[in-house]
Amino acid sequence: MVNILYEDNHIIVCVKERGILSQADGSDKPDMLNILKDYIKEKYNKPGNVYLGLVHRLDINTKGIMVFARTSKAANRLNECIKNNEFHKRYCATVEGEINNIEYIKLVNYLSKDEKNRVAYIDKLGKEAILEYRLLKKYKINNNIVSDIDIKLITGRFHQIRCQMANIGHPLYGDVKYGSKNHVSDEKFPLVAYHLEFIHPTTKELKIFEIEE
């Protein structure tokens, strides 16, 4: 069952669950692009290939809202929206340790990607990565203090949130790849892209979508 939040002739907005790729990677894992193509083909009884443009991605273990373009014109305009900083994503994450700031704090780093090991790392020659975060609530898991934080993602780098939060000593809870001492299943990875807003590619109206974890 595909969780569709909105659709028209130009775009389709859905919720990607954990364990699903944004786009096929050559493995046999399911991916949203093909899931939605099959959904459109069946719902509208479309013969042949279905066009669907991938505008942005979410990691396989991240749940969240995604928008796909149903025409090449919509894809181009959404890509322009991203370039013009008119495409805004917010995340909720559970990180290790105690976060105290209730106002947003900005993190600015430069990140590069280790393709072999599939990790991001701080690198002064890398691409600029910017986010803002603030505390939502603090509590304990197995006697370990954790903090739920709200994140405004300003840039969209590979593993950006995971790398930047780990760099300040607050890796995501269970994110052993970035230094967490705890373990969680992929189905419980604590990162959700819960808010998405952008300018509709044809109507030009502001579209805002949110989900609860």
Q: Locate tokens 């705890």: which residue? A: 182
For β-strands 191-199 and 63-69, DSSP reports them as parallel
β-bridge partners, 155: none
Structure tokens, 16: 């990607």
Give the C-alpha separation, 24 to 10, whole Å: 22
CB contact set of 193 (below 8 Å; sequence gap of 6+): 58, 62, 63, 64, 65, 66, 89, 90, 91
Residue type for position 185: S
Q: Which of 28, 38, 59, 114 is catalytic?
A: 59
Based on the residue annotation, tell me whether 8 is a catalytic residue of this protein.
no
> Three-state SS string across 64-91, please?
EEEEEECCHHHHHHHHHHHHCCCCEEEE
The catalytic residue positions are 59
